[in-house]
Amino acid sequence: MKSIVTGGGAGIGLAIAKALARAGDDVLIVDLAGDKARDAAKILVAAGLKAEAVEADITDEQALADIVSQAGRVRRLVNNAGIFNVKPFDTLDAEDFRGMYEVNLVAMFKLCQLATRAMGEGSAIVNIASRAMLGAKEYIHYASSKAAVAGFTRSLALELAPKGITVNAVAPGVIETDMLKARPEGDLEALRGMQPGGNLGKPEDIAEAVAFLSSPKARFISGQVLVVDGGRSLGGALGG
């Protein structure tokens, strides 16, 4: 029995893979960048944990079927892989939306559909949404896709409840990752100034939330979207 983490080669995904492996899971680290997936798996194995790397494009349905086949029985599925870019509303076109939804929602749906056939009672799915689902400027296509993830999560929870499979989502706020630091608009000091506590989140903050929601301790929690943003959303639905 294995647990699957997509986008697990770096950042939040790697932190999630580590948290699940420390809880005793045998983790399949799936990433489009095969070198990152392999490096991540090596880090976990060197720490005495169980992990394997899988290089895969999650928009490829055959690749998803192969992942589930390799997993055999699936204990936990974490849909972390996704894409993001900044683009003002008046410069967007339909392809921007289609591309965002194809990765952030359609691929998630297909992997969930395949994985649930290999899941038993007590298994869990956690999808990574975003605080941007509450509304965000200059990436409406991304915010919309993550709002769709929230709706998908709640609906899937109802579908899978009779099978004893829980489905939840974690919606991160601003998390300090290499990707954030590389963004041209990623002024970290300005972002910290917008946080109630003056701190940005760490990948481990998201990983711990995922580990809990996918654990037996959360067996009576399903269909929920947990916002992990240091309280920023309490001041309004800005940013993402």
Residue among 33, 25, 22 nearest 8 (CA):
33
Q: Does the active-site annotation cover 139?
A: no
Q: What pLDDT score does 236 carry?
A: 47
Total-model pTM:
0.93
State the catalytic residue, choosing from 142, 148, 171, 225: 142
Burial status of residue 236 (CB atoms within 10 A of its CB: 0-12, 13-18, 19 or more) = exposed
Query: Position of tokens 């055959």?
Result: 62
Residue-range domain boundaries for the chain: 2-230
Q: What is the pLDDT of residue 123?
A: 98
**What pLDDT is stored for residue 239 in this prediction?**
45
- pLDDT string in tens for the chain (240-residue length): 999 999 999 999 999 999 999 999 999 999 999 999 999 999 999 999 999 999 999 999 999 999 999 999 999 999 999 999 999 999 999 999 999 999 999 999 999 999 999 999 999 999 999 999 999 999 999 999 999 999 999 999 999 999 999 999 999 988 887 767 666 655 777 777 677 777 788 999 999 999 999 999 999 999 999 999 888 888 744 444
CATH match for 2-230 among 3.40.50.720, 3.40.47.10, 1.10.10.60, 3.40.50.450: 3.40.50.720
Cα-Cα-Cα-Cα torsion 54, 58, 64, 66, nearest 10 degrees, comes to -30
Q: What is the pLDDT of residue 237?
A: 44
Partners of 201 in beta bridges: 175
Going by C-alpha positions, the residue among 6, 175, 4 that lies closest to residue 81 is 6
pLDDT tens, residue by residue, 175-225? 887 767 666 655 777 777 677 777 788 999 999 999 999 999 999 999 999
Residue 25, judged by CB atoms within 10 A of its CB (0-12, 13-18, 19+), counts as: buried
CA distance 38 to 30: 9
CA distance 221 to 35: 36
